[in-house]
Structure 1
Amino acid sequence: MAQPALTARGALPVHLRRLLEFSAPVPDDLCLDVAGGCAELTDALRERVRRVVTADAPGDPCSLPHPDRSFSLVTCRPSLRSLGEPAALVRELLRVCAPDGRVVLAELVRGDVTATGHAAPGSSVTALTGLIAAAGGTIGRVDAFTAERPLDPWLARTDAAAAGRIRRTLLREVDGGPVTGARPRVIGGELWFTQSWAHVAIRPQ
């Protein structure tokens, strides 16, 4: 059952804290954080590793400006399909990962509501692990779980028109309208929704 993503002020939400622990950063790690879009998690990584290089600036994540085998930890979130051709991106992440390092992917597999107000066609865990294997990665650990979170903080980075469409879509579902896969409900007068995540740790073959 999904657990509400309640946090103390300044603390990471449950799904991000879970990703941080799953990544298992250590003080000697040189980390590449690709398209994170979450300064809180990047800052938390910086507190645990030797150095974090971010790849959030505009550019092609399928052609990273780093030499082969440069990083002991490579993190990528939140969605391969939003960053480019998924298999090509996985191959590029593996290219910059040291032989004894690991790539950690955080992928939404359900509950990704797009700016149009419709559910995105999420990947399944099986499809995700199959894609990784086909791209040349060796799968280590997998963590699949659900996280329930308040809608308004998630919409804070979305333009007002798109945020309005998403809110209306989820409210219609609460009232018995079309199902989005986000399982919205009202808690204490606030609209919440549920996302299903898969965290996968992989290494070069």
Structure 2
Amino acid sequence: MTVTHDEKVVREFSKQAAAFADPGVNAAFTRHLDRLVRFMEPELDLEDVTLEVAAGTALVSRAVARRVRHVTALDLTPAMLAQGKRDADAEGVTNVTFTRGDAADLPYLDRSFTLVVTRFSLHQVADPAAVVREMTRVGRPGAALIIADLVRPAGLDGDPDRIERLRDPSHGTLRTEEEIAGLVAAAGAEVKRTDRFDHVRPLEAWLALAQTPDEAAAQIRKELTAELDGGPATGMRPVLQDGELHFTHTNFFLQAIVG
């Protein structure tokens, strides 16, 4: 039986839900959350009606909830939403609504939100252009659009997407900064600000979060180690830190205004 991409996403992220906000396992989502909130700072307003698309456990929604009127956290994976709701309740956050839905077909009328954000989703979805179009459609004229994602640096050797899919079969395709900016412009929003930085991550925690099967995990370790020894580039830019194998992700933040 054929498994759709969305079914792969739900399967893989259901496994990750419980540990998604654990900084010991998922530092990529927790360590740079404050940096993203600071990037969003000029757009945050106590009157904002906010939507987080492909929200996962709503880390971003919960981080900005007290700075806006209301946040809707939408995600495809029920287990992610359930974990996020438990976390919001424990934190006393009462103005976040959790909704299951498809990022490429948002269940909202045009011009419904004053702030629309998504984090680490475009590289995961089957149709990133559709997601950006939908985010723009539901934004009111003048609304801020925030995209935070992993990107493929220009001129990178190797195929990082192949390694990413070994680790998590629901991974889609890493885009370049220029490709993401192009999707935003094509959707009718104007890019105003960007931020880009590298994040060196420990390999074992990354594999553990996805519960990567032993055989695939061993293959990833083998290829990254071989690259360090002068072998073919994987696109993951491996390094050794304190004797432990790490790799490098490039993060990209973009802020645009809906026309």
TM-score, length-scaled by structure 1: 0.80
Partner of 1:52: 71
Q: 1:49 to 1:57 in 2, by over 3 A?
A: same
Give the Cα–Cα distance (whole angstroms) in 2 for the partners of residues 188 and 39 of structure 1: 33
- Structure-2 change in CA distance of 1:156 and 1:34 (3 Å): farther
Output aligned runs, 1:1-205, within 5 Å: 13-24=30-41, 25-58=44-77, 59-110=101-152, 113-116=163-166, 122-161=174-213, 162-205=216-259
Q: Compared with structure 1, are the counterparts of its residues 67 and 127 closer, same or farther at alpha carbon in structure 2 (3 Å cutoff)? A: same
Structure number having the greater helix percentage: 2
For 2:129 and 2:179, locate their aligned partners in 1 and report how far apart those are by CA, in whole Å.
12
Give secondary structure in 1 for the equivalent of 2:39.
Answer: helix
Give the deviation of 1:93 after TM superposition.
0.2
Residues 19, 188 of structure 1: alpha-carbon distance in 2 compared, 3 angstrom cutoff: same
- Equivalent residues of 1:115, 1:163 under 8 A apart: no
1:38, CA displacement in angstroms? Answer: 4.9
Question: Which one-letter code corresponds to 1:27 in the other structure?
Answer: L
Q: Report how far residue 94 of structure 1 moved.
A: 0.6
Task: Give 5+ residue unaligned stretches, structure 2.
Answer: 1-22, 78-100, 153-159
Are the counterparts in 2 of residues 115 and 166 from structure 1 also a CA contact under 8 Å? no
Give RMSD over aligned pairs. 2.8
Q: Say which SS state the counterpart of residue 76 (structure 1) adopts.
A: strand
Matched residues, percent identical?
A: 40
Q: Is the 8 A contact 2:237 2:247 kept in 1?
A: yes
Unaligned residue ranges in structure 1 (runs of 5+): 1-6
Return the structure number with greater relative CO, CA threshold 8 A, min gap 6. Answer: 1
- The 2-side partners of 1:52 and 1:165 are apart by 41
Distance 1:165 1:43, change over 3 A: farther
Q: Describe the shift of the 1:126–1:93 C-alpha distance in structure 2 as closer, same or farther (beyond 3 A).
A: same
